[in-house]
Structure 1
């Protein structure tokens, strides 16, 4: 299995799908993805917990312990996180973490990144800033924050909600580490992001939300006597045996 860091290639971005439970992780690994991430929203919602409030630490750790043996790397969304959480998921087999600043003080995030890299230097730290998630898109502030996080030792940076090609290119030029962009159905394609220099494209909660929508559509079709689209469905045996 290739080194996780080496999967972040210029011209050929790492497409990182995000799983929310053991079954989704197994299916994505079986589909040939060399690395998968976890989605904090998916893990939170599947366990009846709120997202964005650092409530999924134990659930995320349990999930990592159960999927770390899959033939792929695992990166864990630990939300705002802590050094303790980073050390724990690394010990459980995670290759990387995604840690967000929630637009808190830059100095706090810098201290966290430095402490994590000191304790687990081999863990890939993807430092997320929420300038475009919570502030409506402040490019200047995004650049200030990602530069500070890279200086603190971050291995990659992530600006969810970043959509405009010119803004994406500006972030790529601002740092010398892989830039992660969140895939959006109406946003740039993976090929277009590759041309902008993006080296990692993640799906966030997209797959989880698509799965929920498909489940509801199928239930309504059964209720209403309409045909259910069964094309491409995994078999009972594939899921039951963990294949």
Structure 2
């Protein structure tokens, strides 16, 4: 088992995975003691002026991993649906990212048009990646809770079981929030379950008690950074107080890490 996989097998102590969108955000998080960091596809896409979830940011994602991979933190990469419908092409991308230093990827079955990939199609991508680069931790995500499926819980479990069977090391169900629904997924699976933290949902400690192995922050930090930037500009314009911010030298030092 790899060091990154080990972090998913600590009963009651889920891995809290913050998600970065550029070099500075990743290094700043690592400096605060986070040993594993993910990327956020929304943050990467929005920073480049491109749509998220539309297979438009393959080059930007690879470029970011080239900067961050092999550093002093473990890097998991959000690759949307793999930027391709061809399992072989998705596997080639996974190999490239692993060679650049990524230790995991997040692979989703949601599509840009609000539909979901056929189960067999996404399972084939999972199997192709694990065959090509077995040491890479593959977190297979289902979007049943996000696409308005009429029965998201049972459909999520059906899909996650198929991805587990295809070789996924962990599975992800963003949008599940009710404690009973989380517990049912944990009980039905043999691989670690990842959920997305929400302000109105259970705390990290409560999720750990339910058996959740990984808690992701998704695009929360990127959206929070945008809100802080706008709030700061507005405060300056209106003469309001500006909160504490890192100094120039502190931020510049991040690029030297």
| Coarse TM-score class (shorter-chain normalised) | over 0.9
Q: Is the 8 A contact 1:29 1:70 kept in 2?
A: no
State the TM-score, normalizing by the size of structure 1.
Answer: 0.96
Matched, 1:98 2:106: yes
1:4 aligned partner: 4
Q: Is the 8 A contact 2:157 2:188 kept in 1?
A: yes
CA distance in 2, matches of 1:42, 1:186: 22
Q: Which runs of 5+ in 2 are unaligned?
A: 83-89, 111-115
Q: How many residues align?
A: 240
CA distance in 1, matches of 2:136, 2:60: 20
1:237 aligned partner: 249
CA distance in 2, matches of 1:224, 1:135: 41
2:49 aligned partner: 48
2:199 aligned partner: 185
SS in 2 for 1:5: helix
CA deviation map 1:3-41 (0-9, x unaligned): 000011221000000000111001001110010000000
CA distance in 2, matches of 1:133, 1:92: 31
Task: Give the Å deviation of 1:135.
Answer: 2.2
Task: Give the Å deviation of 1:70.
Answer: 2.6
Deviates more, 1:105-114 or 1:132-141: 132-141
2:153 aligned partner: 139
**Cα RMSD, aligned residues only:** 1.1
Task: Give the Å deviation of 1:84.
Answer: 2.1
Q: Which runs of 5+ in 1 are unaligned?
A: none
1:209 aligned partner: 223
Task: Give the Å deviation of 1:226.
Answer: 1.0
1:125 aligned partner: 138
SS in 2 for 1:36: strand
CA distance in 2, matches of 1:54, 1:170: 32
Residue pairs, 1:60-71, within 5 angstroms: 60-71=61-72
Q: Is the 8 A contact 1:21 1:63 kept in 2?
A: yes
2:179 aligned partner: 165
**Stretches (4+) displaced over 6 A:** none
Residue pairs, 1:12-51, within 5 angstroms: 12-51=13-52
Q: Is the 8 A contact 2:70 2:100 kept in 1?
A: no
